[in-house]
């Protein structure tokens, strides 16, 4: 990449920045030409070359100490103080929400961005919480690099969550990067003293500096788009996790091949297939009443048998008693508590219209049931299947979901075709933790990226998977200058580039790494 597309972190100034992080690359030359042919066998046939487009968005936070908002707003006019969960606050916390794209009217509300990042927008129906194509960025849309922070001190920490969006065709994706500059930029008196004490030379002011080896960095699959790396799933090591699936079986879920009901069962079956030997799983359904179809068990095949295509054990019919779908699942988890993490994954396709709890406010009863579960330390994921954007049904599911670092654990799918991807994302968080792509010093991370790393849309499966056009996928990048770093990095600066590339899946095998050396 050119200097314009590199990231520069300086001990005195961080110049350049994550604007190069592939945002510059996203729309320029990363799509492959669709492979079509026309034999003209029948008169009047028309074949139109397909499209393939990679767009991106980002959200950036910074822990840089108190009293710096005015300074940071010179580069980030919408920057604000943030609390520990990255929600905006007027209090000087020393934590900053610097910028996010798309901005949207509610900016800088953290939930607004996260819901969009975790959601799906269907351009045909114009429904869904996800980002719209026109809200996202290509390379030329960035007037300046993303990271533009001066006076970096030991202890400073920054993070960018950036999301990839494929349009028109599914694709394979890669991430690549390189360290382009690691400059000494001369010496100060304190710097010379520190270098001499470390036994390092001080006679090459134009040579390599120490900053690339001092900065710690990490890149990971940020499966819930919350800017925080969830390193482990399933509680303590070897402990496993207890999961209750709660599936809407009301009449609107339909029946037969291609129905919402069959799509939900197939996706849930894939989730169960990914469970580990120490994980337990149970199944609840809800319609006009609720049913504990399968109590919590370590024999995963008992749940799998209920989720098979055409299984007579789960059929659609009746209304929607959503509160009982939570209460039955929570009761089963609490009755069989072994100290492991406890999770409910609830899927619904409409608003509740019946209640097992007293009172006629069925929406509030469902929200209260979820809150009771959360109060008992149960994590609640919710999935909206075909619910209209901004509807009571969607707002109910959002209110029911747990939060993680300001992220509402709600997922949205207009048609059900994306359910496999959604359950895979949840599995990455719940079962195995978010996978690290590269970690170490900044130099080591860039070296790992130099030859390009193939990205996998479903790490739970054995084979590399293509990325869907429907679901947003997030990746986190964090950097930190540790507190034990001293004067040896004064005046030093580094520049590095991170990029994404994509190739459509059809007629390709994903083996042509665009970052690999010729």
Q: pLDDT of 9-55, one tens digit each?
A: 443 333 223 322 333 333 222 222 223 222 222 233 334 344 567 77
Q: What average pLDDT score do residues 447-473 get?
A: 81
Pairing of strands 80-82, 493-504: unpaired
Q: What average pLDDT score do residues 427-449 get?
A: 86
Q: How many CA atoms lie within 13 A of 183 on its CB side?
A: 17
Q: In the prediction, which pLDDT does 17 show?
A: 31
Q: In the prediction, which pLDDT does 299 show?
A: 96
Compute the distance between CA of residue 179 and CA of residue 443 in angstroms, rounded to an integer: 7
DSSP secondary structure, 187-224, as one string: --HHHHHHHHHTT---S-TTSB-SHHHHSEEEEEE-TT
Query: pLDDT per residue over 339-379, tens digit each?
Result: 999 999 999 999 999 999 998 899 999 999 999 999 999 99
* Cα 325 to chain centroid, rounded: 27
Of 471, 452, 469, give the one whose Cα is nearest residue 514. 452
Q: In the prediction, which pLDDT does 510 show?
A: 82
Q: Which residues of 401-421 are buried (b: 16+ CB within 10 A; e: fewer)?
A: bbbbebbbbbbbbbbbbbbbb
Q: What is the SS3 assignment for 372?
A: helix
Q: In the prediction, which pLDDT does 314 show?
A: 87
DSSP secondary structure, 277-326, as one string: TT-EEEEEEESSSEEEEEEEES-HHHHHHHTSTT-TTS---S---HHHHH
Q: In the prediction, which pLDDT does 235 show?
A: 44
Inter-axis angle of helices 419-427 and 260-273, nearest 10? 30
Instruction: Give the C-alpha distances (Å, rounded to integers) separating 95 from 80, 102, 147, 485.
Output: 9, 21, 15, 21
Q: Which residues of 329-348 are buried (b: 16+ CB within 10 A; e: fewer)?
A: bbbbbeeeeeebbbbbbbbb
Higher pLDDT, 168 or 47: 168
Q: What is the SS3 assignment for 498?
A: strand
Q: What average pLDDT score do residues 432-448 get?
A: 88
Q: Pinpoint the residues of the chain covered by CATH 3.40.50.410.
A: 241-431
Q: What is the SS3 assignment for 115?
A: helix
E strand or H helix at 252: none
**What's the CATH fold of domain 241-431?**
Rossmann fold (3.40.50)
Q: In the prediction, which pLDDT does 383 show?
A: 94
Higher pLDDT, 229 or 367: 367
Q: What is the SS3 assignment for 33?
A: coil
Q: In the prediction, which pLDDT does 495 show?
A: 76
Compute the distance between CA of residue 422 and CA of residue 411 in angstroms, rounded to an integer: 7
Mean residue pLDDT of the chain comes to 79
């Amino acid at each position: 990449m050119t200097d314009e597309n590199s990231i520069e972190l300086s001990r005195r100034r961080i110049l350049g920045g994550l604007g190069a992080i592939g945002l510059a690359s996203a729309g320029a030359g990363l799509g492959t030409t669709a492979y079509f042919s026309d034999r003209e066998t029948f008169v009047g046939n028309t074949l139109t070359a397909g499209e393939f487009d990679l767009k991106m968005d980002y959200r950036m936070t910074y822990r840089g100490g108190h009293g710096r908002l005015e300074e940071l707003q010179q580069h980030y006019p919408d920057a604000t103080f943030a609390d520990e969960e990255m929600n905006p606050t007027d209090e000087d916390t020393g934590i900053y929400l610097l910028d996010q794209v798309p901005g949207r009217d509610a900016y800088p509300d953290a939930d607004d961005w996260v819901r969009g990042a975790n959601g799906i927008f269907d351009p045909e129906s114009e429904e869904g919480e996800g980002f719209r194509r026109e809200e996202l960025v290509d390379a030329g849309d960035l007037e300046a690099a993303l990271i533009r922070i001066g006076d970096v001190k030991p202890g400073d920490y920054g993070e960018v969550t950036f999301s990839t969006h494929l349009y028109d065709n599914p694709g394979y994706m890669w991430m690549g990067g390189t360290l382009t500059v690691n400059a000494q930029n001369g010496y100060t008196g304190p710097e010379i003293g520190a270098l001499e004490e470390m036994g390092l030379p001080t006679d090459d002011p134009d040579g390599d500096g120490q900053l690339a080896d001092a900065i710690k960095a990490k890149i990971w699959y940020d499966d819930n788009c919350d800017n925080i790396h969830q390193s482990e799933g399933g509680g303590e090591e070897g402990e496993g996790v207890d999961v209750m699936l709660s599936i809407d079986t009301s009449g609107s879920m339909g029946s037969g091949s291609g129905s919402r009901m069959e799509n939900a069962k197939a996706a849930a079956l894939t989730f169960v297939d990914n469970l580990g030997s120490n994980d337990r799983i149970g199944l609840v359904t809800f319609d006009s009443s609720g049913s504990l179809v399968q109590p919590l068990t370590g024999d995963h095949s008992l749940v799998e048998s209920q989720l098979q295509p055409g299984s007579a054990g789960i059929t659609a019919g009746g209304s929607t008693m959503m509160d009982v779908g939570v209460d039955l699942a929570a009761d089963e988890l609490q009755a069989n508590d072994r100290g492991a993490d406890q999770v409910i994954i609830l899927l619904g396709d409409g608003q509740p219209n019946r209640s097992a709890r007293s009172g006629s406010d069925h929406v509030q009863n469902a929200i209260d049931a979820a809150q009771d579960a959360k109060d008992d330390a149960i994590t609640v994921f919710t999935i909206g299947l075909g619910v209209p954007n901004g509807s009571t049904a969607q707002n109910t599911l959002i209110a029911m979901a747990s939060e993680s670092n300001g992220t509402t654990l709600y997922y949205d799918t207009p048609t059900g075709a994306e359910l496999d991807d959604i359950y895979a994302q949840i599995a990455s968080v719940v079962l195995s933790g978010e996978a690290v792509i590269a970690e170490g010093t900044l130099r080591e991370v860039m070296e790992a990226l130099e030859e390009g790393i193939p990205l996998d849309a479903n790490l739970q499966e054995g084979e590399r998977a293509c990325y869907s056009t429907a679901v947003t996928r997030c990746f986190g990048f964090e950097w930190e200058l540790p507190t034990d770093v001293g004067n040896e990095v004064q005046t030093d600066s580094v520049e590095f580039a991170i990029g994404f590339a994509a190739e459509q899946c059809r007629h390709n095998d994903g083996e042509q790494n665009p970052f690999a050396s010729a």
